[in-house]
């Protein structure tokens, strides 16, 4: 099953556009977990089990695992394998924002798709379509391209004018009209920029999904985000929340609190659909 089909099936089954970011940090884990052999995996497993009927995807950010070296990569692998084995209908989006020359990208795809078994990846477009073919040729995978990101200072380059258009609009046009030969491209647009999200939706039309970070801890306006980004059938968005859900409690009942926060978030999303 390709990523697009798998994502839509998960959205329909769980009536959800929510993606939970699995971004564990050692200093925020409950104390008993820190004493286990695989604290990140134990933490993730509990979050996954508590929310699997509420999400349309999970999104681990590799930085949190890479910072722990080999043991962190092992825990990332354990997490991806656990989802694939126990919740095979839920896609895994690997958030690693890679992009390099072709030979390097070949290795990135081996790591993401062959080793970890991810269903989709985030990538950056700066080096152009030709360099990104290693990703794009994986027709069954989702290739999610940075477009208008949620961070402060993102406009330094993304808002630059190029032939009368802002750069992020040019990126959206190129992805939709040139890169998306196999229908496996998506975009990243932050929830902190609802007007820009609306502009991107106008450019790419209703068929392309958009990954939206910035809800929750980053303060994105959920109502404005949905009004700006939903397609005509009330879909087309993957709304990511990480810290607001996985750290809803710092105590041993963290998974219960994560579930409650996920339910609250899904209900809020569906209210505006």
| Active site members | 97
Region of 224 on the Ramachandran plot (φ > 0 left; ψ -120 to 50 alpha; else beta): alpha
**Per-residue buried b or exposed e for 108-136, using 16+ beta carbons within 10 Å of the residue's own CB:** bbebbbeebebbbbbbbbeeeeebbebbb
The rounded distance, in Å, linking the Cα atoms of 113 and 228 is 32
| Whole-number Cα distances in Å, 265 to 54, 57, 128, 205, 240 | 10, 14, 36, 26, 10
The rounded distance, in Å, linking the Cα atoms of 211 and 202 is 15
CB atoms within 10 A of CB 170: 19
């Amino acid at each position: 099953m390709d990523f697009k089909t798998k994502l839509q099936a998960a959205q329909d089954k769980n009536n959800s556009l929510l993606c939970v970011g699995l971004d564990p940090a050692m200093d925020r884990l409950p104390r008993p977990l820190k004493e286990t052999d695989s604290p990140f995996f134990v933490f993730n497993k509990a979050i996954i089990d508590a929310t699997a009927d509420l999400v349309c995807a999970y999104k681990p950010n590799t930085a949190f695992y890479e910072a722990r070296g080999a043991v962190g990569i092992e825990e990332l692998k354990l997490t991806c394998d656990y989802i694939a084995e126990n919740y095979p209908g839920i896609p895994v989006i690997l958030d690693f924002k890679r992009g390099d020359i072709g030979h390097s990208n070949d290795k990135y795809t081996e790591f993401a798709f062959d080793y970890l078994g991810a269903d989709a990846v985030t990538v950056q477009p700066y080096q152009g379509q030709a360099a990104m073919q290693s990703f794009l040729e994986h027709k069954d995978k989702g290739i999610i391209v940075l477009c208008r990101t949620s961070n402060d200072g993102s406009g330094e380059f993304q808002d630059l004018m190029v032939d009368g258009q802002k750069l992020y609009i040019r990126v959206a046009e190129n992805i939709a009209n040139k890169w998306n030969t196999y229908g496996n491209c998506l975009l990243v647009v932050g929830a902190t920029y609802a007007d820009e999200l609306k502009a991107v939706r106008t450019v790419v039309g209703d068929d392309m999904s958009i990954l939206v970070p910035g809800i929750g801890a980053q303060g994105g306006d959920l109502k404005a985000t949905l009004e700006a980004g939903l397609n005509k059938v009330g879909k087309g968005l993957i709304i990511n929340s990480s810290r607001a859900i996985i750290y809803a409690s710092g105590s041993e009942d963290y998974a219960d609190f994560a579930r409650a926060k996920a339910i609250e978030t899904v209900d809020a999303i569906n209210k505006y659909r």
